[in-house]
Structure formats: structure tokens, C-alpha cells
Structure 1
Amino acid sequence: MSGRTGGTEAGRFHAWRAAIRIARRDAWRYKGRSALVLSMIALPIVGVSAADISIRSSELTKPQQITREMGAADARLTSGGMGHRALLQSPVDGASMPADQKSGDDGPVSAAGIAADQVDPRVALPPGAHWISDQSAYARVRTPSGLLDTWVREMKADDPIAVGMLTLDRGRFPRSGNEMIATRAFLKSSGLHVGSLVRTRGFDRTYRIVGAYELPDALDTEQLTALPGSFIAAYATAMKAARGSYDGGGGPPSYLVSVPGVFSWPMVEHANSLGVIVDSRAVLLHPPADEDVPFYRAAGRTGGGVQSSTSKATALAVPATVGGLAILEVCLLAGPAFAVGARRSRRQLGLIGANGGDRRHIRAVVLSGGLVIGVVAAVVGTVLGLVLTALLRGVLEDYVGKRFGGLTVRPLELLAIAGLAVLTGLLAAVVPAVNASRQSVLSSLTGRRGVRRAGRLMPVIGLAAVCLGAGLAVVGAARSDSVVVVGAGSALAELGVVALTPLLVGAFGRLGRWLPTAPRLALRDAVRNRGRTAPAVAAVLAAVAGTVAVATFAASQDRQDRDAYQARAPRGVYAVSSGSEQGRELGAVRAAVEKHFPVSGRVDVSRLVYGPKTCDLHSDGAGCGGFQLRVPPANVCPAERTTDPSQLSLAVRRSLASDWRCAGSYVQPAMDTEDGVTVGGPAVLHALGIRDGAAERALARGETVLFDRRYVDHGTIAFGLIPDMSKATLGDDTVAGPLTRVPVHVAAEKVPYGLVVVMPEKAAVAAGFRTVPLGSYFTTSRMPSGAQQQALAADLAQFGSDAQAHLEKGYESKASLVLLALSIFAGLVTVGAAGIATGLAQADAEPDLKTLAAIGAAPGVRRRLSGFQCGLIAAMGVLLGSVAGVLPAVGLRRAQLRQDWKAYHSAVDGGWGAAERAPHVPVVVPWPTLALLLVAVPLGAMLLAAAVTRSRPQVTRRAEG
């Protein structure tokens, strides 16, 4: 018995070995067909493996991230900003709080967010420590085109401690105090180069650029680096002498420290007791237990840093859905491949049956063909994915704005991707293997084919899958937080559309009566041979569906960002305000703007001033007054009347969300004015594009116009006059003098571009105020170019203007580039899939083409027929894929809307969301992308197929058909 079993197993092994040898020889014999099949399976594998390697390479390990932040140092020491007051610190994110903080004090604060007394961090240095300082400040650097605001860093960049923080690209590191190195982004923006001299405005010292470098974690950063003590202190002194004050914006220096051993958690706690914050490499890599961290106990939190479900859903939604559709695409792309291959090899399979082979042997041969092609496609696709990533590494790094930690290859993941190709090859060969084994030997040897009709059960299953999948996607978006449900429903619905493809192809066939000869023949052939047409259409459908899903999601997100963008003025408007007390420089500034910009109009505005003319209008000197626009008590939001809104009842907190008194209305204006009051006339509204005839007429009559109704009180607004600003506290009514009331006209529009009040000159004088020139709004006939902006900056720098300016460029969409890239990618994949599928279909339809030649058809008919076959497959696939691809995008957007509403209600119920806007998550269909897919892709596929098709068929034996 065991001998029989062993013999049977040996026989099966020899049978499979023979089947694999036959499949390998068959694949090598028909190289063209094998290449098409291999390409169909390997094409998605290339993309998936390249994406996997790129994503893994861009993910830095914890040690790599620490090295980019602090080089080879063991710790970075920073002042806590509270003098020598002891601190409690989080070991992982740098958050801190005073050790003696009491109930009612402010909560935890970031060490970088405190501008109180500083302590020298070096007081916490352990014995034997080696250190270098690291400090940054903002400076205005002169360039060939004008001025460029940039960061200047002081650090000994060639010290061993700094290794890994920056990478020298060319040149050398600074050796003396008058040398600097510059990032490549700075050199590109400034027009300078290695060897150029660097000059800053208001500072007579010059520096020479001796090298170019990049920050591996921020490639787009514009920065200069000098030796410690060579720039920041001297520049700050010069700025204080010229302007009276200077805020470099970078804070005090921190210190990168190398110590014997490691900077342990007890050493961090000791530094905290001295008022110093420490980022320790050892602690970041191996954080202490939560119970050993006093900060967590005092702040009432843990160190887990659990990511919210909303951010998880947002981070996983698109990759999960698109990844699922990509896997589905891999399976569908191989669908027509082996069906055509098996039919092309049916004579060989018939010979196996004629020589004593049974159905098992025929199935083994066809399945072995899938195995051989799948293995080769897995190897080729994975290797090409690795090579493609290596070749495009620089492009990918520039796109994400940081260098990879290395070319990270995870063998198990690539093995899984390769296994998917092998599995795809086997699964795609299952149905052709079963069909081939069922054919009689006679029909296989003669090559006769009948009309293949679509089954009746498959359309029913497809329709049920579409309904069930769409229902799952809708329910998952409306009632579940799981992205898997949305993705699974979308994939099931797409499979249902694939199952319906033969029926839909038949429906398309009814259009043939209105078509010319060549497309009519192509359509009838597609309908007659649905067994080969449907898989080809499904392949194109899968390629398009994922792209349409991503494009729809990207277009919707872009619309959401566009709607959330708060413009400070209409696009192309240039607002400039004086930096001097009396606006003395405005004349020269206005002349420079009109010289360099394509100005189409100018509107001058002023500001209100209360107090004697002898006062410095920009100081809080004794005897100098001011004013404050008051909100009537009845219009104050109830949440602003308490220090803890959470103490209000839940019903009151929820009602505040719809209370107009609590609606947030602040928009950063193009020109900063006192309490949003601008002195001007109707021309101000014209310049800002505000179309309100009633408000224009009111300004023309000398009336004040109000855009925020919270300030109105029985038709007037109240100005609280402050006789002495040196004794005033913002919001303190006790130091204010009498209220001055001004009649107002309440405009229909709500705080356009941050404009609260527009007051005519005579109304301001009548209310007891003085006015001082503030600035001008310039309208332009076209957007000023970069060269024009740099030329203006150069002119302003010549006479030392401190004018504040803003050019409104409007919302700058990044989705257009994404959508364009997606459209091009979809076009290439779709044309490739359609071309490969059509090539296989043409191989299957070769007898029909030979029949056309035999009955005297013109040579061009073959070319036109091939072109229309490819175009029809692409058109049907694109049309169905566009419909199928919109569903997952809509589901994901609805899921995101639900998550946003949950966060909104949580904020409102907590009492802190009274001024929050209700969530706005639109769904936008990218019609230009769809139009490009529907028109350009089928047309391109048709022309490409017609171009590569031979006009005259090759004479062959009938048996080879």
C-alpha cells in the first residue's frame, strides 16, 4: 500500500515537473504573447513594490530622527524660560510646567513658548561634558534683486557633535568670523553662489559664502550658518541702535552636549530642578515608566500619546482604499491573459489529450503556465520597482522635502508583494485551465470556436454585489468609524461591476447600428467574444477606478482647503502701510509701488489717533492716549464672561454654537489698524471688492459703516477713550474715560477681509479724533511677477523704509499638480492596460483578421479594426471605472465628515467650541480629469494600437490558429 502511495506521489511529481517544463518551453516559444502576459501581471507589482520601498525609505528610525535634530550629541539643553524656577518635564515631547504650579495657574506649556527670564543651560552640564552652542535669528539679507528675510544660525558645523545635522554639498565649513555657509535653497532664492558676499540691511559687516549645505530633514529651508559669536549679537546691537528694539525670533542659544556615558533620566530631572529643559538621546530612545515621571502625575496625562481616531482615519483612509483597489487591479489585469493563452495553445493541449493525457494533465499544464509567468513577473516587477525607486530617489526626496534615511528594503514585504504576483498568475489560470480541460480533443485539434455567450447567473451575482457593496460603503461612512468597511464595500461594489461587465458589453453593442464599418465590426467582435472582451474591459476599469477615487478625494480636499482659506484682500491687491509715526515715508513708498507694479488704482487710508500731537504714536508713553472699541454687555458671548466655560450647563454650551454673539469673525487684515477701524470713503469698498450700495451711499454721506454687528448698540458704536495708555490694561474698563458714541450704518457683509469699521474723515474729526496717514490699497491689472516684487524691495531698501506690505496671491492650490499627475498616470496605465489586453484579444482574434484578408478586405481595414478594438476597450473601461471610482471617494469623504462632526460636538460640549465653525467637507467630482480620461485615453489607445498593427497578416498554417 505504501508502495502504491509512493508511486502515486512520484507520478504526480513527475507529471507536474513535465507540466512546468511544457509551460516554460511554451512561454519561451511564444515570446511576444508571454511578454504581454508578464507585463500585465508585473505592471502593478512594479508600482506597489516601488511605493513600498519609497514609503519605508522615507520613514526615519528613531535614532535617525534624533541624529538629524541633535547630531551626535547625547543631549540638547535649553533654558526653560523661568529663570532658576524648578520645572517638571515630559521625557518625549519637551512639554514642561513649573514644579510649584498651583491650582488655577496656567496649564502645561511648551519650553519654546515662554519669553520670561532665561537661565544659562550650561549650569546643568555634568563634569567632563563637551558642548557647542546652537542659536538662530532672523535677518534681512541683501540680494541682487533686493532683500530676502532668512534665518541665520550660529553653530560650529564641523564639530563632531554636529555630524548628521547638516550635509555639506560643496565648498568648506567656515573657519573665521567673516565666513558663512548657505543652504542650497537660500542660494536658489537669493541668486547668490559660493564665493558671494553677504550683506544685511542696517549692518555694515560683510560675510563670504564659502560652502553650500542642506538640512536633511528640511531641504526647502533658507538658512545661513556662521561660527558662534560672529553675527547674531553684533547684528542685534546694530538693529537696536537703528530701530530702538530688535526681536530676532530665534530665542536664546541651546547647547548640544556630549557626556561620558549617557545623559540619563536622573540627570534630566537634576537639570529640570535648575530651570533647564533637556532632550536626551538615551531618554528619547528608552523613556522611563510613566509612574517615574512627575510631569505626568502633575499634568494629569500619560506618555502614550494615543493618536485620535479622527487622525487615524484620515491617515489610513486613502492608502487603505487605494491599496485595496490596487490589489484588485492586479488580479483583474491578469484576467484576459491566460484565457487567451490557453485558447492560443489549445492545439498543443489537444495533442496532450490525443497522446493519453487526461484532464488533470491539461489543467496542470495551464496552471503551470500561470505559475511560470507569475514567478517571472514577481521577480521582474520587484527588481524593476527597486531600480525605479533608486533612480527616482532624488526626485522623491525633493518632493517630500527631506532625505531618506537610506534605501530601506523589507524582504518580507517585498516577498509578500511577489507572492501576490505568483498567486495572481495561478488564480488567473484556474478558469482557463478548467475550460481547456473540458474541451474535446477534436475541437482542440481543429481550432473550431463557437460564439461564447455570457452566463445568466453572473449578472445577478454582480448586481447583488454592487447593491451590497454600495450599501456597505454608505453605512460605513454614515455609522461606522472603520475605514475597512468603506474600503471593503467599495471593492465589493467594483467586483460587482466587473461581474456585470459582460452584460454591459452587450448593452454597448446596441450602439453599433449607428457606427461606420470599422468601429461597427470592432464592437460586434467585442460583443461576440465577450469572454475575452470583458476581462480586458475589467482590467482598464480597475486601472481607472483607483485613479478616479484618489482624484475625487484630492479635488474634494482642495475645495475644502479653498473654502477654509481666509484672504486678506482680493487677489492681486497690494496693501502697504507706513512704518513711521506720521506716515512720512508713504509718498516715496507709493511712488516706488507705482513704478514697479502694474497698478490700476490706488486708495489711500488713514488711522484714528486720540491724544496730543506731541506723543509718540507707537509707544505707551505717559500722557499719550488711545481708544478701545467696546462690545455692549448684551452682545458679549456668555462663554467670554467666565474663565471656565465647562462650568456652564450642557444645554447652554450647545446653544452657544448657534449664538451669533459667539461666532468667530476674526480675519487677519491686510493692514493692521487699531481695533479694525479704517479711515476712508467709498473707494475703500471698491478697492476691496465689497459690493454694498447702501454702505457706499452711507460713506458718501459721511456716515460710519460697521461690518460686525456685535459692536452696535441702538444704532451707534462706543469708543472707550483711554487718557493715559501707560496706565491702561487691555480690556480694563476702569482706566477708560468717557465713552464716545458714533452713529453707524450696519452693513450686510460680515467683517470682509478683517475690516470692522470704515469711518469717513469728517466723522472721525466730529467724534474728537485725529487722523494720521496709514497706507494705501493698490489694485493691479495683473499679478506682479517675482522680478517686479524683488525690484520694489530693492527700492524700498534704498531709503530704509520699514513699511509693512502684503500682496494677496489668493489660495494657491497644490491639488492641480496632483490631479495632473494622476491624470497622466491614469492615462499611461490605462493605455498600457488597454494595449496589453487588446494585444491579447488580437492574438485571440487572429483567425478573424485572416478571414478579412482572405475575402479581399483592404490592408488598412486590419489597422483600423485593431485601433477601434483598443479604443472601444479603453472607452468602456474608462466609463465604467469612472463610475466605480467615485463611490469610495464619496464614502471616505462622508466618513471624514462624520469624524469632524464628532470632534466639533466634543469641543462644543466641552465649552471651548463656541466660536468654531461647523464642519465643511464637500464632495467634488474632478470633471476635467474625467474628461481627460474619457476622451484622451481612448483616443490615444486607438491611435497607438493602429500605429503598431501590421497592415498585412502573416501567412500561417490553419492549425496554428
Structure 2
Amino acid sequence: MSAALAALRIARRNAWRSRGRSALIMVMIGLPVLVITTVLTLTETMNVSPQEGLVAELGAADARLMQLPEGTVLRQQPNGATWSTTGDAATGPRRSNADVEALLGPGTRVIPFDTGVLRLGAERVEALRTDLRDPLTKGMRTLSEGRLPSAAREVAVTSAFGLRPGDLLRPAGAAPLTVVGVVEHPFRPSLRQVVGPDLPLASVEEFWSPGEHGPGWLADTAGPVSWTGVTALNGSGLYVTSRALMADPRSWTRARAMSVQGTVGIGAMVIMVVLETVLLAGPAFAVGLRRRRRELAEIAAQGGSAAHLRTIVLADGLVLGGAATVVATVLGIGAGALGAPIVARWGGEAGPPGVPWAPVLAVAALGLVAGIVAALVPAVQAARQNSAAVLAGRAPAVADRPGWPLAGAALVLAGLGATVVARRQPGSVWVLASAVLVLLGLVVLTPWLVQRTGGLAARLRLPLRMSVRDAVRHRSRTASAVAAVMAVTATVVAMGIGTYSEYMDRRNAYTSARPTGTLAIWAGNIGDAAWSRLRAEAARQLPGVPLAAGYQARDAQGHRYALRYTVRWNGTRTRRTAAIGDQALLTLLQGRHDPRAAAALASGKAVVFDAAALRDGKLALRAGSTSGPARRLDVPAVLATPADEHQGGALLPRALVEQAGFSTAERQLYAMYRPSAGSTLARDLAKVTPRVTVASEEGYRNVPDPSLWGWLGGALVLVVGGTLTATRLAAADMRPEQATMVAIGAPPRTLRALVAGQALYISGLGALVGLLAGTVTGLALTRPMTTHGAGDPATIAMPWPFLVAVVVGLPVLASAAALITRTGRSFARRPL
């Protein structure tokens, strides 16, 4: 039998004999593989390719065509996704079916296929106006309940609505629609859509884009629609989706070369995954080496060479790493495939189960390599052990390497210098790559740090003093665990600072033109009589609520104009529309009466709430319209304080707007009022005119990124798991000392305190060093994550509760978990 085969058999038997340790090693190695494989499979499954999405896009048709708005110039690209358009996007008369059939040639049949939105009160939902009974729509939507709509005012809805056949939909300004069926989208279970042959679609000209909204057709052609045909149809004002082109992967796939940043990012991720896995699983392999030291010494005494001992220990890494990788890969593929439909119910798509085999196999190979590398240091130690000393029961001496601290310090300094340079680069990849250098240097420095902290033991109580001294004496085991905790803590602290700073930057970037709690009612292009009815209905719906009026600006031809200005808010260029109103609206926007601002408004000056928008006492405005030429205005203005700190905007007096050559018409109402959750205000106002919009300013509603606490959960598993692994090894090494303490009357709580002291020392030292390293990287990450251009300062926010939980809470939790570790009271034979 060859030595390698014998080593594998020994490793398999040893893994089965020490099932608890083997399971722990497999978890440490397999957990990263499981997580990454799950994410890869989930992403691949939820990424519906153009070929897979053909059935939902075209049904059984050969092509889908969409009419372009008048004045639009379209130039489709071979992948069918890039387009450019100019013009005012005004919808022209709809082409007839016969016109489209003539453009496509003899033997063509088309059916209407219009996409848009349906207004249900204040809500806009996706709508599809077509006949689902036609064979051309086969597979687009699957009937799950009821029947397909066949008559006017009959519709089918997707299951996300939660409606049943027989329920009614009440679109704004139209007769009720009867739900006769429930349908499913092939890939989008969360889609809320109404489908029917006769739907009152709302105008979506301001949202128009090819393939999304607008009048269109499904076409059954005599032959495939080629790229030449697509170009010709573009010239006739039609956007085309061709089955023949979409089914050909060459028409929509483009090989993209890996960028330098992408390569660096993948390399940094691979190093971090392998490093963390090695540091976590390394102490567990050391446990096996401690317990098998005598067995390996006996093999050496019977003629086994140092190479044989290395092979035996490396075989442990191969067997356990291979088993962990296989199990984790299978579980990750299953979790990703099964989880995609569940995740898609909250948004997104879920196609047929897909596995990106190349990345998945690369991750599996990475896990296998990590298992072997984790066993490499114990293998070297096994080859160098003194067999005579081991058989005599004496502990091996620890050899220091004086050159390692210098190498570690050099790596740390190089990493810090690279971090300073990377902070100025776009993107966070370079900062993370620099952090890898810092972490590698700290890993090399960890044995030196462990040795230097041993001097603190003299001032501690007996259990802690013995714990620290034992940790220093067994530096090879302790340093690996401390480095693992340090790497986890540094990564979590860095990402926590960066994530929280990004959240605070988004929060600071939030801005509104009205105070929180403001109700706004706007009307579109309606006449004075319709506005009077709408205003009366609003007053009836809101009895006793003061209403402040806002006005539209119009030119002599009646074209509506918006008066806008641009200001930089939190480093981002923000475009605002100035309101037009009187003293009542000014009081609402300021939340109080401001005599100075009121006097300025009465004198014909603009009142501005954005200090950066003022230049020499003037506000630069651009008057824009979809129907008339743009104009530029410089108006006198004063600065005032708004009601909310995040509020901006400007208020123009009517006299100032009319002096500029515009007329004004009241078309807005504002009030400090919060509608209830079940309010029918929007639906009731829409009965007067469908051109009304009701909006409520709720303020900044986002909560901190939940990934912040996801990082804490991951750190909890890794830090506590790695610490307890090292603590278990320490307890095994300290059995002679524990036996001596028991012999002289030490109670069980002293033994537990001894073990807990090891956990506190390992996790505490690793957390402190990790805090320093993570803070440096986190502060560097804030610049690429929170800046929006030259001159924009970085937002730096420290998540103090999160940092305390990581740096203080996790070591305390690890120590508390170690307190319940079972401590044996058996006597051990002490060497003489």
C-alpha cells in the first residue's frame, strides 16, 4: 500500500473517531463555500436571460412592435437594449393593424399589445391591454383561477393583488372593472398587473421608453424578422423585439474583459476567504495534532519519516476539506435554487434553476485548498516534533522566529501607505485590497503580540494569570485563534463604519421641498371650472384644515412652465422647482411667521431656503416647458430658514412671476395634514378629475441598512466559534495543570474560570487589534462610499452601539460560553 493511500485511510478513521472535532472543522471550512455557492446559484437563477424570457416577452409571436412618440428618432443596437431618442415625446395617432401588417409584409397577422399603467386611486399599477385568448399570447400569462377576460370591462389580475374572480377594480375616472381570472407571470411572482382587452390606460408619456410603455402589437410573420428588417421598422417609427434575433445568443451577449478593479477585487476576496478559513480551522486541526502526537511519535519510532508524518496530517485536511466542500456545494446549490422563487416574491425574477458551474467549482476548489492549507502548519509541526520527548510525555518547546515581527511590521506599514493612496481612488476595491496587506501583516505579528502581552499576567488573579501564561506558552495555537478573531473583527468593523457612513450620507442627502406632514394636491392641465370643483371637493373632504394655494406659470399661449434651479445638496446636484404662492404658503413652508421673509415676499422678492442657490442676492431660474422655448431669469431673493433641516426650495410671489411675462393660475393646494392609512381622499378627488395628484410628505423613512447587523451575526458565529475551538484546545493542553489544581482542592468554578480566561484573552486581544485595523480601513472606505464628486467631503459616522457590540459584546459572550464548558476532574500522569 502506498504511503498516500495509507495516510488517507488513517485520516478517514481518525475523522470518524473524533466526530465532534471533524464536524467543527467541516463547518468552518464549508460555511464560506455554502454561503458563496448559495449566492451564486441564487443570482444565476434570478437572472432570467433573454432566451429564457422570450415566452413572457413574445408569447408565440415572431416579433413585438411598439409605436414611437412623434418626433422620436430611434437607433436600436444589435443587442436590442441600447437606444437614443430626441423630440418632445408626444403620442401621435395610433397606427392601424393593417398599416403594421403592410410594413411587415404579406402573410403577417398582428394583434394589439399595449402596455401602460392603470390608475387605481392614488396608486398606479402595471397594465397590459391585449386578448390573452389569442394564440399569439400563449405562455405570456398562465391562468391559475377563473377564466380569461373576453368582454369589455373584464380583466384578469396577477396573484400578487390578492383578488379573486368577482372582485371589482375601480380605476380613476372610469367605470369599474370586473375581475374574472387570476393569472401568473412566468418569472415574476411579485408583479402586480392588470390584463384585459379593454383597459383605460393612463397617459405615461413622461415615463416612455421602448419596450416598457406605449401602444404596440404582437406579430406573426411569414418569416423571421432580421436585423435589416428591424432597422427599416425603426425608420417607420416602430421599436422592434424580434424572436429570431433574441434567440441568437450572438445578438445579445458580449464578452467583457475583466477590469483591473474586478481582478483586484476577486483576488482580495479569495485571499480573505482562504485566510479566514485557515485561521478558523487551524486551531481545530491543532486539536487533532495534540491528541495524535503520541500516535505520530509511535509511527516515527517504527520507521516513519518526517514526510510520512506531514502526509498523514495533510490527509486530514484533504479528507475533511473535501467532505466539507462537497456537502457545502450541494447544500448551496439546493438552497440557491429553492430560495430564488421565495426571494422573487419580494421582488425580482426567478427563472429555471441555474448553476454557474465555473464559479461554483472554483469556490469548491477554494474550499478544498483552504482545508489543506489549514492543515499545513500542524503538518509541519508534526514533522518537526521530537518523538522521544512526546513518548516521554514532555511538551515540545516553542521556537521563536526573530525575523517574523519585522516582516509583519513591514506589511502593516505597506498596507497603511497603500490605504492612504487607495482612499483617493474611485471605488472601494483598492481600499479593501490595501486592507488585505494590513491584515496579513497583523497575522504575522500576532505571535509577537501574544508573547508581549504575557507580561500582563503577573497583575491578574490566579485563574486569569494561569490562562494568559498558558496561552503565551502555546503561542502557535493561541496566535491562530487570535488572528482569526482579529481578521473577523477588522472586516466587520471596517464594513460597519463604511455601511453606516453610507447610510448617514443617504440620510443627509435626503431633501424635500415641503415640511414633513404636508399634504399636496396638484392638478394638471385643467380648466378653471374643473379646478373650482376640485378645490370645493378638497375643502369638503378636509373640513377645518387650512389650505394654502399654489400657482402654475403660463405663457401667453397657455403653455405651462416650470421655474427650476439647480443647487448642490450634500455633494449632489439637485434640481428643484420653485413654488409660486403668497403669505399663507410661506407660513406653511417655514412652520411659523417670519416677519423678514414675509416682508421680502410682499415686496416682490423670492424667498429661498437653499443658501448655495443665492448669488449676489439673486436666484438664477430656468423656465422650461414641453411646448414652448426655455427662458432664463435672474430674480431678487432673500435667504430664509425652512421648517425642517432637510428642507430646501424657494417660493416666488405671483407679482414677480407676472412681471417676467407669465400669467398665474391656482392649481395647487397645500395643508399640514396626514391622511389615515385607509383614506379615500385620492380616490374621491379623482372622481372630480383624473388629472389630480395627491402626495404626502412623510420625511425620511428609510431605516439603517440591515446588513449592518448581518455583519454582527456573521461575526458572532465566527468569533465565538473560533474562540471556543481554541478554548477547547487550551483545556486539553491544560489537563495536567487542572489535575494539579484539583489535587490541592480547587473547586470546579476555578477550573471553569481558567477556561473562560483563555476565551476572554483570545477574543479580547483579537477584538482590540481588529478594532484598530478595521477603524483605519473603515475610515478609508467612507470616501469612495460617500463622496459624489470633486470637492465633496466624505461623510464619517461611527456606529458606536455596533462597535461596542463587536469589540466588547462578542468577547464577553465568548467568555460566558466558555464558562459552561465541561471541565474534567480526572487526574493526569505528570512527567518527572
**TM above 0.5, one fold?**
yes
2:597 counterpart (691, 695, 719): 695
Alignment gaps of 5+ in structure 1? 1-12, 97-107, 240-244, 290-302, 610-617, 632-636, 638-656, 670-675, 734-738, 905-917
CA drift of 1:588 comes to 4.6
Q: Secondary structure at the match of 2:225?
A: coil
- What does residue range 268-417 of structure 1 map to in structure 2 within 5 Å? 268-286=230-248, 321-322=268-269, 324-398=271-345, 401-417=347-363
State the partner residue of 1:821: 710
Q: Compared with structure 1, are the counterparts of its residues 152 and 520 closer, same or farther at alpha carbon in structure 2 (3 Å cutoff)?
A: same
Q: Relative to 1, partners in 2 of residues 1:815 and 1:665: Cα closer, same or farther, differing over 3 Å?
A: closer
Instruction: Rate the CA distance shift 1:839–1:53 in 2: closer, same or farther, 3 A.
Output: farther
- The change in CA–CA distance for 1:791 and 1:882 in structure 2 (over 3 A counts) is farther
Offset at 1:135? 0.8
Q: Which range moved further: 883-892 or 53-62?
A: 883-892
Task: Confirm whether residue 419 of structure 1 aligns to residue 365 of structure 2.
Answer: yes
Q: Could you say which residue in structure 2 is the equivalent of 1:10?
A: none
Cα distance in structure 2, aligned partners of 1:628 and 1:424 = 62
Deviation at 1:375, TM superposition (A): 1.7
Q: 1:324, 1:872 → 2: CA distance? A: 26
Written as runs of structure 1 = structure 2, the 5 A alignment for 1:536-575 is 536-575=481-520
**1:604 paired to 2:548:** yes
* Residues 325 and 364, structure 2, Cα contact 8 Å, conserved in 1: yes
RMSD: 4.8
* Residue identity (%): 31
Shift of 1:64: 1.9
CA drift of 1:953 comes to 1.1
Q: Name the CA distance, whole Å, in 2 between partners of 1:268 and 1:527.
A: 75
Q: CA shift at 1:161, angstroms? A: 3.9
- Tell me what 1:263 maps to: 225
Offset, 1:494: 0.8
Rounded to whole Å, the distance in 2 between the matches of 1:896 and 1:129 is: 53
1:817 CA displacement: 2.1
* CA–CA separation in structure 2 for the residues paired with 1:937 and 1:718: 55
- Structure 1 residues 692 and 821: CA distance shift in structure 2, 3 A: farther
Q: Determine the structure 2 residue equivalent to 1:79.
A: 67
Q: CA deviation at 1:765?
A: 11
* Cα deviation, residue 606, structure 1: 4.8
Which of 510, 524, 535 is equivalent to 2:480? 535
| Matched residue SS, 1:109 | coil
1:808 CA drift (Å): 1.7
Change (3 A) 1:586 1:510: farther
Tell whether 2:126 aligns with 1:151: yes
Q: What do residues 86-125 of structure 1 show as CA deviations (whole Å, max 9, x unaligned)?
A: 97543334666xxxxxxxxxxx517995635554433323
User: Which residue does 2:405 correspond to in 1?
Assistant: 459
- Secondary structure in 1 matching 2:170: strand
Count of paired positions: 815
Question: Conserved in 1, the CA contact under 8 Å of 2:760 and 2:811?
Answer: yes
Establish whether residue 937 from structure 1 lines up as the match of residue 810 from structure 2.
Answer: yes
Hey, what does 2:77 align to over in structure 1? 90
User: Does the aligned pair in 2 maintain the 1:111–1:277 contact within 8 Å?
Assistant: no
SS at match of 2:315: helix
User: For 2:639, which of 747, 750, 768 is the aligned residue?
Assistant: 747
Aligned partner (choices 206, 211, 216) of residue 254 of structure 1: 216
In 2: Cα distance, 1:76 partner to 1:21 partner: 63
1:231 aligns with 2:213: no
Aligned to 1:870: 759
Give 2:471's aligned residue. 526
Matched residue, 1:213: 184
Shift of 1:807: 1.5
Deviation at 1:605, TM superposition (A): 3.6
- CA distance in 1 between partners of 2:592 and 2:278 (Å): 56
> Could you tell me whether the CA contact under 8 Å between 2:730 and 2:755 is conserved in 1?
no
Match of 1:37 in 2: 25
Structure 2 contact 510–646 (Cα < 8 Å) conserved? no
CA distance in 1: counterparts of 2:229 and 2:215, whole angstroms: 20
Say which SS state the counterpart of residue 328 (structure 2) adopts.
Answer: helix
Query: Does structure 1 conserve the Cα–Cα contact (< 8 Å) formed by 2:173 and 2:690?
Result: no
| Contact 2:424–2:783 (CA under 8 A) maintained in structure 1 | yes
C-alpha distance in 1, partners of 2:620/2:51?
59
- Note closer, same or farther for the CA distance 1:446–1:572 as it changes in structure 2 (3 Å cut): farther
Match of 1:153, as an amino acid?
L
Give, in angstroms, the shift of residue 336 of structure 1.
1.7
Question: Distance between the aligned counterparts of 1:823 and 1:113, measured in 2?
Answer: 50
Residue 152 of structure 1, CA deviation: 2.4
For the pair 1:441 / 2:417, whether they are aligned, the reply is: no
Contact 2:140 2:185 in 1 (8 A): no
Instruction: Identify if the C-alpha distance between structure 1 residues 521 and 794 changes in structure 2 by more than 3 Å, giving closer, same or farther.
Output: farther
8 Å CA contact 2:159, 2:183 repeated in 1: yes
**What SS does the corresponding residue of 1:34 show, helix, strand or coil?**
helix
Output one character per residue of 1:494-552: Cα deviation in whole Å (capped at 9) or x when no partner. Answer: 11111122233345555556655554544443333322121112222333343344434
User: 1:841 & 1:112 partners in 2: Cα distance?
Assistant: 75
Contact in 1 for aligned 2:58/2:218 (Cα 8 Å): yes
Residues 619 and 637 in structure 2, CA contact (< 8 A), matched pair in contact too: no
Q: Which residue of 2 aligns with 1:18?
A: 6
CA deviation digits over 1:666-697, x for unaligned, max 9? 3146xxxxxx332115x725644599774356
Cα displacement string for residues 308-359 of structure 1 (whole angstroms, at most 9, x for unaligned residues)? 99xx789888776545422322232222222232122111112112323232
- Per-residue deviation, 1:868: 4.1
1:181 counterpart residue number: 156
Change (3 A) 1:553 1:165: farther
> Aligned equivalents of 1:491 and 1:628: distance in 2?
52
Q: How far apart in 2 are the matches of 1:627 and 1:465?
A: 62
TM-score, length of structure 2 as denominator length: 0.83
Query: In structure 2, the residue corresponding to 1:64 is in which secondary structure?
Result: coil
Output the amino acid matched with 2:195.
T
Cα-to-partner distance string for 1:637-670 (whole Å, 9 max, x where unaligned): 9xxxxxxxxxxxxxxxxxxx99x9xx9663146x
Gaps of 5+ in 2: none
For 1:255, what is the secondary structure of its paired residue? Answer: strand
Query: What secondary structure is seen at the aligned counterpart in 1 of 2:177?
Result: strand
Contact 1:27 1:369 survives alignment (8 Å): yes
Provide the C-alpha distance between the structure 1 equivalents of 2:718 and 2:391, rounded to a whole number of angstroms: 37
What is the CA distance between 1:468 and its match in structure 2?
1.3
What is the TM-score normalised by the length of structure 1?
0.73
Aligned ranges 1:113-152 → 2 under 5 Å? 113=89, 115-116=91-92, 119-120=95-96, 121-141=100-120, 148-152=123-127
What SS does structure 2 have at the residue aligned with 1:204?
Answer: coil
More off after superposition, 419-428 vs 266-275: 266-275
Contact map agreement 2:309 2:383 (CA 8 A) in 1: yes
Q: Does the C-alpha gap of structure 1 residues 710 and 923 become closer, same or farther in structure 2, counting only changes over 3 Å?
A: closer
Does the 8 A contact of 1:172 with 1:210 survive in 2?
yes
Contact 1:340 1:844 in 2 (8 A): no
Question: Match of 2:487, SS?
Answer: helix
- Hey, what does 1:832 align to over in structure 2? 721
Query: What is the identity, as a one-letter code, of the residue corresponding to 2:280?
Result: L
| Structure 1 residues 150 and 428: alpha-carbon distance in aligned structure 2, compared to 1, 3 A threshold | closer
Structure 1 residues 507 and 27: CA distance shift in structure 2, 3 A: same
Deviation at 1:923, TM superposition (A): 4.7
Is the Cα–Cα contact under 8 Å of residues 198 and 208 in structure 1 kept in the other structure?
A: yes
Please give the alpha-carbon distance, in whole angstroms, between the structure 2 residues aligned to 1:490 and 1:557: 19
Distance 1:606 1:553, change over 3 A: closer
**Are the aligned partners of 1:835 and 1:870 in contact in 2 as well (CA < 8 Å)?**
yes
Q: Choose the corresponding residue for 1:955, options 796, 804, 826.
A: 826
The answer to whether the 8 Å contact 1:571/1:809 transfers is yes
Structure 1 453/129 Cα, relative in aligned 2: closer, same or farther at 3 Å? same
1:546-589 deviation digits (Å, cap 9, x = unpaired):
33444344334334433443323233333335677365544552
Cα deviation per residue 1:819-862 (whole Å; 9 max; x = unaligned)? Answer: 23332233233333333343344334444444433332222333
Q: 1:540 to 1:110 in 2, by over 3 A?
A: farther
